[in-house]
């Protein structure tokens, strides 16, 4: 039996409607983890669908309760072939964001697959049911072709990723013995372009915070009080202007991070951001000076004012507002210490005379992670995917966005490689979420080739 036969088997699975049927059954579960009363759907997805599917493939499945009482369960499934063989950990999430059932084009039902041209619509097609369905079906194709995998697998499926993965860190930290693996390979998020096979090895972190200034109680008539009272909106605008210049350069001492290793810089140099239908135009002069647009989004820290309000913008009054509020966030790369960020901002505001502005930050920031693009596992996976694709692939050191990847890379200490099967225009988290048929078809082959190669000798 050969690699070619495994690739033929997965193509047949796709052509005969197997993929559509497996995915369709999973899309039907309304696993909207952010809505109340979703407990039954979250549990059923694991109990009725994924566990039987994996048990058929000789996996031992256990559904574990979440250490946080209000959050969905975890499925941990094992398939062991031998202690001397490599072990891969893979991951997916079975929960989705709300369906927004009546907001889809052409009255499409988000809980079933609707095919229009190259697009397969349905809630969870891209994020993340389609992606883990591709990876599990590819494992199955290798088992059926070879009779075995040639490696051990640990599958972890969580049901709360869209809520910020409550309990995931605690669960993994308390059960490290369940996740004794050599490498972590999973799929979520977008490729750099629909037809460009992509891997990424981590994500930027993100810290959300709020700045508030209350100058006095109640709004006061500007004719009677203008010139006598502090305007908190003006003061807040100056505070923000002291934090970032008008071209997006960060001015808070310690918040910038421009250190890129040679291999990260070289990997980023091969990437091209932006473009594509409906994308906004990039401002080449925005952000960290001296960096390319790609280095800025993948390799630097970026500060955004997410929202900013003073007075009542809906009904502006001729008055001096009582307060101002700004919601900011910093996305940051590896090497930035998140616990130092708010103290640095405090020091900055105090030094610039903004002692009255209070800062509160959200708990549980997402941490920044990254694996060097020249890590042996990255090179090995890139080689396998390039072999199957017959062309170069995109290697992204870390996503510009954020993922709970530090649980796997830091808590479990695994080299983490993500092979995304979606694309930026997939409308995840919005009505009309979809995957592309051509991308899914290519992803099934890439993953089958990858699992096939993992069972051969010569892994790192």
Q: List C-alpha distances in Å: 13 to 23, 63, 229.
A: 12, 28, 72
Give yes or no for residue 32 binding Zn ion (CB under 5 A).
Answer: no
d(CA 311, CA 317): 8
Residue keyed to tokens 């405090």: 346
Cβ closer to Zn ion: 243 or 403? 403
Nearer to Zn ion, 257 or 439 (CB): 439
Report residue 297 as tokens.
């989004």
User: In Å, how far are 1, 25, 234, 332, 400 from 302, measured between CA atoms?
Assistant: 50, 40, 24, 7, 10
Stretch of 54-62, 121-129, 257-265, 399-407 contacting Zn ion, by CB under 5 A: 121-129
Tokens matching residue 258: 């421009």
Distance between CA atoms of residues 84 and 149, nearest Å: 13
Q: Give the nearer residue to Zn ion in terms of CB position, either 127 or 158.
A: 127
Q: Which is nearer to Zn ion, 127 or 295 (CB)?
A: 127
Question: Is there binding between residue 288 and Zn ion (CB under 5 A)?
Answer: no
Q: What is the closest distance, in whole angstroms, from the C-beta atom of residue 126 to Zn ion in the complex?
A: 9
Task: Select 128 or 459, whichever has its Cβ closest to Zn ion.
Answer: 128
Supply 381's token pair: 């996976």
Q: Do 142 and 72 meet the contact criterion of CB atoms below 8 Å apart? A: no
Distance from C-alpha of 436 to C-alpha of 125, rounded to nearest angstrom: 9
**Cβ closest to Zn ion, residue 94 vs residue 328:** 94
**334: which residues sit within 8 A by CB, 6+ positions away?**
202, 368, 369, 370, 398
Q: How far apart are CA 153 and CA 83, in angstroms?
A: 12
95 binds Zn ion (CB under 5 A): no
For the window 162-191, what string marks contact with Zn ion as x by the rule CB under 5 A?
Answer: ------------------------------
Please state the closest distance from residue 96 (CB atom) to Zn ion, in A: 8
Q: Binding to Zn ion by residue 127, rule CB under 5 A?
A: yes
In this complex, which beta carbon is closest to Zn ion, that of residue 187 or of residue 448?
187
Q: How far apart are CB 57 and Zn ion at their closest, in Å?
A: 26
Region binding Zn ion by CB under 5 A among candidate stretches 15-23, 119-127, 246-254, 320-328: 119-127
For 25, other C-beta atoms within 10 Å of its C-beta total: 16
Applying CB under 5 A, the span of 126-134, 190-198, 346-354, 358-366 interacting with Zn ion comes to 126-134
Q: Least distance to Zn ion from the beta carbon of 124, Å?
A: 9
Stretch that binds Zn ion, among 29-37, 106-114, 127-135, 284-292 (CB under 5 A): 127-135
Asked if 294 touches Zn ion (CB under 5 A), the answer is: no
Joined together, the tokens standing for residue 403 give 């993922």
Measured from the CB of residue 253, what is the shortest distance to Zn ion in angstroms? 34
Instruction: Find the residue with minimal CB distance to Zn ion.
Output: 127
Q: Which is nearer to Zn ion, 167 or 189 (CB)?
A: 189
Encode burial over 180-191: b for 16+ CB neighbours within 10 A, e otherwise.
Answer: ebbbbbbbbbbb
Burial of residue 212 (number of CB atoms within 10 Å: 0-12, 13-18, 19+)? middle
Q: Which is nearer to Zn ion, 127 or 288 (CB)?
A: 127
Pairing of strands 394-396, 152-158: unpaired
Whole-number minimum distance, CB 24 to Zn ion, in Å?
20
Binding site for Zn ion (CB under 5 A): 127
């Amino acid at each position: 039996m050969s690699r070619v036969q495994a690739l033929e088997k997965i193509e047949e699975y796709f052509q005969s409607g197997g993929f559509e049927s497996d995915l369709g059954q999973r899309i039907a579960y309304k696993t909207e983890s952010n809505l109340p009363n979703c407990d039954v759907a979250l549990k059923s997805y694991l109990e009725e669908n994924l566990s039987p599917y994996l048990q058929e493939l000789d996996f031992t499945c256990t559904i574990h309760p979440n250490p946080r009482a209000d959050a969905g369960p975890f499925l941990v499934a094992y398939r062991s072939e031998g202690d001397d063989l490599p072990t891969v950990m893979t991951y997916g999430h079975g929960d989705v964001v709300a369906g927004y059932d009546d907001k889809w084009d052409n009255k499409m039902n988000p809980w079933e697959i609707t095919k229009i041209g190259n697009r397969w619509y349905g809630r969870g097609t891209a994020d993340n049911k389609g992606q883990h369905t591709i990876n599990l079906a590819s494992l199955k194709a290798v088992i059926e072709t070879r009779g075995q995998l040639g490696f051990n697998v640990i599958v972890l499926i969580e049901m709360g990723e869209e809520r910020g993965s409550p309990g995931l860190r605690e669960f993994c930290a308390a059960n490290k013995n369940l996740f004794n693996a050599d490498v972590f390979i999973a799929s979520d998020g977008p490729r750099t372009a629909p037809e460009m096979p992509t891997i990424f090895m981590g994500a930027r972190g993100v810290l959300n915070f709020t700045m508030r200034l209350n100058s006095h109680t109640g709004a006061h008539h500007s004719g009677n009080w203008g010139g006598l009272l502090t305007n908190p909106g003006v003061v807040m605008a100056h505070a923000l202007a002291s934090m970032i210049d008008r071209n997006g350069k960060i001015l808070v001492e310690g918040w910038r991070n421009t250190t890129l290793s040679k291999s990260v810089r070289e990997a980023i140099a091969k990437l091209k951001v932006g473009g594509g239908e409906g994308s906004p135009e990039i401002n080449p002069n925005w952000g960290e000076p001296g960096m390319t647009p790609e280095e800025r989004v993948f390799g630097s820290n970026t500060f955004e004012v997410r929202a900013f309000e003073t007075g009542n913008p809906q009904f502006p009054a001729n008055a001096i507002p009582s307060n101002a509020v700004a919601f900011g966030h910093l996305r940051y790369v590896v090497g930035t210490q998140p616990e130092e960020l708010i103290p640095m901002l405090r020091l900055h505001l105090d030094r610039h005379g903004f002692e009255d502005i209070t800062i509160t930050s959200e708990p549980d920031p997402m941490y920044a992670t990254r694996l060097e693009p020249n890590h042996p596992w990255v090179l090995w996976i890139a080689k396998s995917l390039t072999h199957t694709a017959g062309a170069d692939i995109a290697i992204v050191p870390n996503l510009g966005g954020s993922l709970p990847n530090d649980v796997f890379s830091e808590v479990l200490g695994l080299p983490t490689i993500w092979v995304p099967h979606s694309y930026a225009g997939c409308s995840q988290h919005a009505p009309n979420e979809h995957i592309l048929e051509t991308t899914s078809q290519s992803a099934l082959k890439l993953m089958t080739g990858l699992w096939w190669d993992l069972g051969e000798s010569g892994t790192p």
